[in-house]
Amino acid sequence: MRIALGQFAASPDWSDNLRTSLQYLDQAAAGDADLLVLPEGVLARFTEDRGQIRQAAQPLDGPFVSGLVGATRSVQTTVVVGVHEPAPDGRVFNTLAVARGGELIARYRKLHLYDAFDAQESEHVAPGDDEPVVFDCAGLTVGLMTCYDVRFPEMARLLADAGAEVIALPAAWVRGPLKEHHWSTLVTARALDNTCYVAAAGECGVRNIGASMLVDPLGVAVARLGEQPQLLWGSVDPDRLRLARQRLPVLENRRFRIDPHVLPIQSRVPVHA
């Protein structure tokens, strides 16, 4: 499988972001990419008034996703992109849409909301309740996670249980002390935990770190970016995947299974010094 990771800084204008996404799709298709992974929430990005995300949200049959889905009719590349879609309670869902051949073939709504480091994603975003979402691409099984999900090892393990050999991880990883270290450590850990490839595409810009990377099943970052917009290329080697799972059989050696039951959202408890 040939993979392209499209790193860019989203603007407040969805049409600008669609244009950038289509440009990356053209480049990915021209380079014979089987899979293009774009960042989280690229429908629009706001650094100040986070509430604007509600006004910017579009349904999955809206112009942004429809434009990207339509563009896949003429290429062989599958695209994973993060958007926000309206939720019934007035908030939005943080959703990954997967397009191929002019159709929307999969959808995942982010389960773990970023209520951490003084952020409160749940103020404007409703959590999904999807079970692990996987899809086939170029003869391999690809699982879906979004950004903060990577901090929860059971999420990746459930995807591995569902057959994932590659995890597509769109993100908008917020800058901050030690945050780049957290990102690279967690992406690598999820690859090692499950002896799978992790294709992590990060948004860059003034708020987020970028740092897109493709990590192999033995924890080697085979390709990575810094903070600038760019298309990153990498390959998934089925032979290396098989070898890793033979030499490091963690999926066979484990003694516990993961219960796929989704827990209710817990109220955030203030931390006092």
Let me know how long the chain is: 273
CB 164 within 8 A of CB 147: no
Q: Calculate Rg over the CA atoms of the chain.
A: 17
pLDDT in tens, the chain (273 residues): 999 999 999 999 999 999 999 999 999 999 999 999 999 999 988 766 778 899 999 999 999 999 999 999 999 999 999 999 999 999 999 999 999 999 999 999 999 999 999 999 999 999 999 889 999 999 999 999 999 999 999 999 999 999 999 999 999 999 999 999 999 999 999 999 999 999 999 999 999 999 999 999 999 999 999 999 999 999 999 999 999 999 999 999 999 998 888 888 775 544 443
Amino acid making up residue 134: V
Task: Give the pLDDT of residue 45.
Answer: 83
Write the burial class of residue 153 (CB in 10 Å: 0-12 exposed, 13-18 middle, 19+ buried): middle
Domain boundaries, the chain: 2-244
The helix or strand, by DSSP H or E, that contains position 160, with its residue range, turns out to be helix 153-161
CATH architecture of 2-244: 4-Layer Sandwich (3.60)
Backbone angles phi, psi at 13, to 5 degrees: -100, 115
Compute φ and ψ for 208, nearest 5 degrees. -120, 160
For the annotated catalytic residues, the residue numbers are 40, 110, 147
Residue with tokens 């860059």: 204
Q: What is the pLDDT of residue 48?
A: 67
Beta carbons within 8 Å of 211's beta carbon, 6+ residues apart: 173, 180, 183, 184, 202, 224, 225, 226, 227
Single pTM value for the model: 0.95
What SS3 class is residue 19?
helix
Which backbone phi and psi does 140 adopt, to 5 degrees? -120, 160
Grouping H, G, I as helix, E, B as strand and the rest as coil, residue 158 is helix
In a 3-state reduction of DSSP, which class is residue 175?
A: coil
Residue type, 166: V
State residue 47's pLDDT score.
67
Distances (CA, A) of 56 to 43, 59, 93, 247: 7, 10, 12, 47
Q: What is the pLDDT of residue 269?
A: 47
